[in-house]
Structure 1
């Protein structure tokens, strides 16, 4: 397995973990509650007591923690060592005595995956499309779902030409230095906010002047600022149309129980599948 830090230094991978470490300083009970609500809505339950929860690409660890709060036994792993550090810090702060393990590993590491137990809930939100091999990662993830279990994934929506454009932006972000990255972030923010120019301009002015207001949690307990950095820098980057994900999982014996799309726009389509 190629070292994550080598890939980052060579501009072939975004430093996801550094972004998650910064986001981790914002996590509080309000954000944890938001993450938990999103899990409960998608899974159709408020209680995971006695169930195993596997978090593939745990990032900050926020959703692993939400699953712990729902009663699950949680195992989390991430390829980026800084993400592992971020999740470990969150565990130490909010759930030090919980049945929750965090480790560094890759979903594309066949030997590691074969050594895992199947889980009642396999969760991977916005991760598999950043591995560099989306469909191999999907294959590995679905194979970890226990009989009668649940696969909960989100995959970037395929927008055709615009997705190709964002691929180029992301590649350049990871090749550029600090100034180039800031210019790409600013340009992307203005582009994404082009339908509400006054609000975008005001946010940009606040950011330049350092007078922005407290970071208000987005849906799922996330942060607009950190989501922007993740979006612009997130490379490797692959996309899939909803019907591709649906067909892939149906062919492997899964039934779709929940679907939330980004309505054809930028972002992730969210799927919850049940295994017979």
Structure 2
């Protein structure tokens, strides 16, 4: 049993990989296209030919695949063995002949990190805040960016007291049995969706249609699996946009793209460029 699997069995970590394995069954060309489009928009390019792409915490492997489709040479790793297996399966199904390596490792493992070559693009969307050591993981991610390269990360927004309350929900989820988990997911769904009927009616009034459960979310994600990930996702840390910006600026990065959750619940997305004169 790996360290990750031990932590899951002891209720100290959410089974992220199990959730990604289930989501992986939904991945098709439509979701791949959505993921690719969002990656292109954030990076400001449709072509990554000749560039290296390091995916820290690859999850289902969807965005590693998107980078492959854009021409990058991709290295993916994840702490959860289930995520690694799901990513390898995705590679076999959609990119069997690509320059794409996948392995099981932790961004907090100094021996592993020391063996890694700096990458032109270091990508870690919604991952570093689940390591249990956010700022150490952030520092490592920054150090893996090649001079002149790009850091693309997203970090949960700090909502103060509400973030602390969600931390307790996540602790309880992982310490509970199947029934307790279902209760927490259902309660969270009702809380998070309390304004949805009004939003749906407003959208219909404007001539739109309410999104169904099978419609991919932006980035190709799934509402069901995102909900379970949100309720159970532990370890869990948060940061303000200002904290992330200051931390990266001190390490020679300049902000090139920012997409916030407008002060609410969710992730703030950042793309930073590293000064080409910086040491890798």
Matches within 5 A, 1:90-109: 90-109=90-109
Is 2:81 the counterpart of 1:81?
yes
1:166-201 C-alpha deviation (Å, 9 max, x unpaired) = 00000000000001000000000000011124789x
Report the equivalent of 1:205.
none
Matches within 5 A, 1:198-237: 215-237=214-236
Report the equivalent of 1:264.
263
Structure 1: gaps spanning 5 or more residues? 201-211
Matches within 5 A, 1:153-172: 153-172=153-172
1:263 Cα deviation after fit: 0.3
Report the equivalent of 1:15.
15
2:129–2:156 CA contact under 8 A, matched in 1: yes
Give the Cα–Cα distance (whole angstroms) in 2 for the partners of residues 9 and 165 of structure 1: 23
1:114 Cα deviation after fit: 0.7
Is 2:52 the counterpart of 1:30?
no
Give the TM-score normalised by the residue count of structure 1.
0.94
Report the equivalent of 1:123.
123
- In the superposition, relative to structure 1, how do residues 98 and 159 fare at CA in structure 2: closer, same or farther (>3 Å)? same
1:198-243 C-alpha deviation (Å, 9 max, x unpaired) = 789xxxxxxxxxxx96611000000000000000000000000000
1:190–1:197 CA contact under 8 A, matched in 2: no
Structure 2: gaps spanning 5 or more residues? 201-210, 276-280
Give the number of aligned pairs: 265
Report the equivalent of 2:39.
39
Which stretches of structure 1, 4 residues or longer, exceed 6 Å deviation after superposition? Answer: none
Report the equivalent of 1:204.
none
Report the equivalent of 1:248.
247
RMSD between aligned residues = 1.5
Give the TM-score normalised by the residue count of structure 2.
0.92
